């Protein structure tokens, strides 16, 4: 496997928009990049003699010419007279995005609601999922905007994440909206994966209470057997069918999972990883849920996928 390709990466650090690479004597750099709503995290271990950074200052990281993220300093950890470590996050969660709110969005689509939340918090936004134009009344009760966005994403079985000051909401199975990455067996340093040979459902039934008919009803998506069955609250049949579709999609998305380590590559969480192995007749294909970049005298990327 790919052991022989270690090399020293070329690092560029912009501090508040100014190139400070030569003035920051770093020891180790780590970047955790998430596909989910978790904030991406940058950790930089620095010599004690390095200029002391300030909380809420901005850092942009480039490795071998590739942009790997825009971060805001959140924490500074000290090893007195030896070194200190800065921890920076990809989204400025110090502000109202983490403050709990109580409100109701009336007669608005998901797209309109999410756009208004992004605007309130100073984010750009990318929205592209099948149910984004559905209109209804949605309550935000004792939830921060961040938690509310995550709840919407979980309910709809879509991807929600914060990348470089942008809120992103996309369908998990929209191939054309995700970057494709491919690695071969010769590039792999370490690989562990599992294929879950669980029952695959072809249809899904939801039992819900219809207040107009004053009785419980069953709605179904998909065809054939086996059928996945569950009960849940729904305001109408359209919402019931949407929940059943999300439940069925969630089950289909949980077949392959694992981790792979390679020499550093500018991959990002949320993209598709295609792994070509000599002993597997089919290419392993999954969504990158997390990627950890570890940089010192070399650059290693460890990818978690599902």
CATH number at 61 reads 2.30.300.10
Q: Do 100 and 136 have their domain in common?
A: yes
**Cβ(162)–Cβ(114) below 8 Å:** no
Number of separate domains in the chain? 4
Task: Please check whether residues 144 and 182 belong to one and the same domain.
Answer: no
Examine the domain organization and report whether 192 and 259 are in the same domain: yes
Domain for residue 130, yes or no? yes
Do 158 and 41 share a structural domain? no
Q: Which residue carries 């002993």 as its tokens?
A: 279
Final residue of a domain: which of 89, 116, 141?
Answer: 89
Residues 184 and 207 in one domain: no
In a domain, 1, yes or no: no
pLDDT confidence of residue 93: 60
pLDDT at residue 143, rounded to an integer: 93
Q: Looking at the domain assignment, is residue 27 inside a domain?
A: yes
**pLDDT at residue 172, rounded to an integer:** 76
Domain boundary among 89, 122, 137: 89
The residue segments making up the domain with residue 155 are 96-171
Same domain, 17 and 76: yes
Tell whether 193 and 156 lie within a shared domain. Answer: no
Domain boundary among the residues 68, 89, 110 is at: 89
The pLDDT score that the predictor gives to residue 299 is 96
Does residue 268 belong to any structural domain of this protein? yes
Whether residues 82 and 130 fall in one domain: no
The whole-number pLDDT of residue 247 equals 83
Verify that 51 and 122 share a domain, yes or no: no
Amino acid 156: pLDDT: 86
Same-domain status, 180 and 300: yes
Q: What is the pLDDT of residue 176?
A: 53
Per-residue pLDDT of the chain (306 residues; tens, 9 = 90+): 555 456 689 999 999 999 999 999 999 999 999 987 788 999 999 999 888 899 889 999 999 999 999 999 999 999 999 999 999 998 666 567 888 999 999 999 999 999 999 999 989 999 999 889 988 889 999 999 999 999 999 888 888 988 878 899 988 766 556 789 999 999 999 999 988 777 778 899 999 999 888 889 999 999 988 999 999 888 888 888 888 888 887 776 557 889 999 999 999 998 899 999 998 888 999 989 999 999 999 999 999 998
Q: Does 31 reside within a domain?
A: yes
The token pair that represents 88 in the structure block: 């920076």
Tokens for 168, please give them.
């992103």
- Do residues 124 and 235 both lie within one domain? no
Q: Peptide bond before 73: cis, by omega within 30 degrees of 0?
A: no
Closest-CA residue to 87 (of 121, 64, 53, 50)? 53
154 contacts: CB under 8 Å, gap ≥ 6:
none
Structure confidence at residue 252 (pLDDT): 65
Q: Does the residue 219 lie in any domain? A: yes
Same domain, 238 and 277: no
Residue 96: per-residue pLDDT? 72
Q: Please check whether residue 6 lies inside any domain of the structure.
A: no
CB < 8 Å & 24+ apart, contacts of 284-290: 284/193, 284/256, 284/258, 285/256, 286/256, 286/257, 286/258, 287/35, 287/172, 287/178, 287/253, 288/35, 288/181, 289/34, 289/35, 289/36, 290/32, 290/33, 290/34, 290/35
Q: Please check whether residue 2 lies inside any domain of the structure.
A: no
């Amino acid at each position: 496997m790919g052991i022989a390709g270690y090399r020293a990466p070329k690092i560029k650090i912009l501090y508040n928009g100014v190139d400070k690479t030569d003035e920051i004597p770093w020891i180790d750099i780590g970047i955790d990049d998430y596909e989910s709503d978790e904030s991406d995290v940058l950790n930089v271990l620095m010599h004690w003699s390095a200029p002391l950074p300030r909380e809420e200052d901005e850092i942009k990281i480039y490795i071998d010419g590739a942009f790997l993220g825009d971060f805001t300093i959140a924490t500074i950890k000290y090893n007195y007279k030896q070194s200190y470590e800065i921890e920076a996050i990809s989204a400025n969660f110090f502000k109202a995005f983490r403050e709990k709110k109580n409100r109701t969005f009336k007669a608005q689509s998901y797209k309109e609601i999410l756009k208004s939340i992004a605007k309130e918090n100073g984010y750009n936004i990318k929205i592209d999922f099948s149910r984004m134009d559905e209109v209804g009344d949605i309550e935000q009760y004792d939830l921060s905007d961040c938690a509310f966005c995550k709840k919407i994403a979980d309910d709809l079985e879509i991807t929600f994440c914060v990348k470089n000051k942008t809120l992103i909401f996309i369908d998990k199975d929209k191939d054309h909206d995700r970057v494709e990455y491919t690695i071969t067996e010769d590039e792999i340093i370490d690989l562990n994966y599992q294929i879950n040979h669980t029952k695959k459902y072809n249809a899904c039934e939801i039992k819900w209470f219809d207040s107009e008919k004053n009785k419980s009803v069953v709605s179904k998506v998909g065809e054939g057997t086996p059928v996945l069955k569950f009960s849940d609250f729904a305001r109408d049949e359209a919402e019931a069918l949407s929940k059943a579709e999300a439940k069925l999609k969630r089950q289909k998305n949980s077949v392959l999972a694992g981790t792979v380590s390679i020499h550093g590559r500018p991959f990002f969480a949320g993209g598709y990883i295609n792994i070509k192995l000599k002993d597997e007749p089919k290419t392993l294909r999954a969504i990158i849920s997390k990627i950890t970049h570890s940089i010192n005298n070399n650059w290693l990327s460890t990818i978690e996928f599902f």
